[in-house]
Chain A
Amino acid sequence: DAGVTQSPTHLIKTRGQQVTLRCSPKSGHDTVSWYQQALGQGPQFIFQYYEEEERQRGNFPDRFSGHQFPNYSSELNVNALLLGDSALYLCASSPNIQGWQETQYFGPGTRLLVL
């Protein structure tokens, strides 16, 4: 089992550009959540996808959007990049099982640098 995978591992963009980050969940998991972790801070919840729809959203602007595919993989898109979008972007997956009592599984992250 490959666990949660993310691509790319690192990315450098300039202000105003757009970026797409990708995540494949752990086998058997159908729910994908995205987090942004700025340097020296804790991760912040961006949004969560289940059944190809956005189920929950954190306090992030509409520049942040996402998508989930039928195979449960997911993309995070950020438009009109700002310097403040520089961060580690983490994807986490979990199964949508009633009574699930384990943690989400986090991927290795994509480090985005906006110049």
Chain B
Amino acid sequence: ELKVEQNPLFLSMQEGKNYTIYCNYSTTSDRLYWYRQDPGKSLESLFVLLSNGAVKQEGRLMASLDTKARLSTLHITAAVHDLSATYFCAVDRHNTDKLIFGTGTRLQVFP
């Protein structure tokens, strides 16, 4: 059974600081996704990572994938308050759009 674990579960950061969220998954998988969710809202797609060594960046967020280690990271550079949200990674093992989500990381950025 595919399991997806994220850490930390909760992250409180000061504006301007850097930090990394980790996503581990238990079995070989085709795709890895990162989503953002604001309170009471739906999921906003951030990144889709398809192959080993893939790196994607958008603004202050950068995601990477190491399929050998079954690990993805979401790196936050110089955090700002607008980044406060819950971040989920999700894995699609067989490229069938059946996503298995991690537990989520709740990020709070304070002045």
Contact = CB atoms under 8 A, between A and B. Distances in A.
Interface of A: 31, 33, 35, 41-45, 48, 55-56, 58, 90, 92, 94, 101-109, 111
B42 A109 contact: yes
B97 A31 contact: yes
Contacts of A107: 42
B97 A42 contact: no
A33 B41 CA distance: 18
Contacts of B103: 41-42
B41 A108 contact: yes
Interface string B37-48: 000111101001
Interface in B1-38: 4, 33, 35
A91 B16 CA distance: 36
A41 B48 CA distance: 21
A106 B42 CA distance: 7
B28 to A, nearest CB: 18
Contact of B45 (A48, A58, A103): A103
Interface of B: 4, 33, 35, 40-43, 45, 48, 50, 88, 90, 96-104
15 contacts: A42-B88, A42-B101, A42-B103, A43-B90, A48-B96, A56-B96, A58-B98, A90-B43, A92-B97, A94-B97, A104-B99, A106-B42, A108-B42, A109-B41, A111-B40
A15 B41 CA distance: 25
Contacts of B101: 42-44
A103 B41 contact: no
A94 B97 CA distance: 8
Given A108-B41, A109-B42, A45 B48 contact: no
Given A45-B99, A109-B42, 8 more contacts: A35-B99, A41-B103, A42-B90, A56-B96, A58-B98, A101-B50, A103-B33, A108-B42
B54 to A, nearest CB: 11
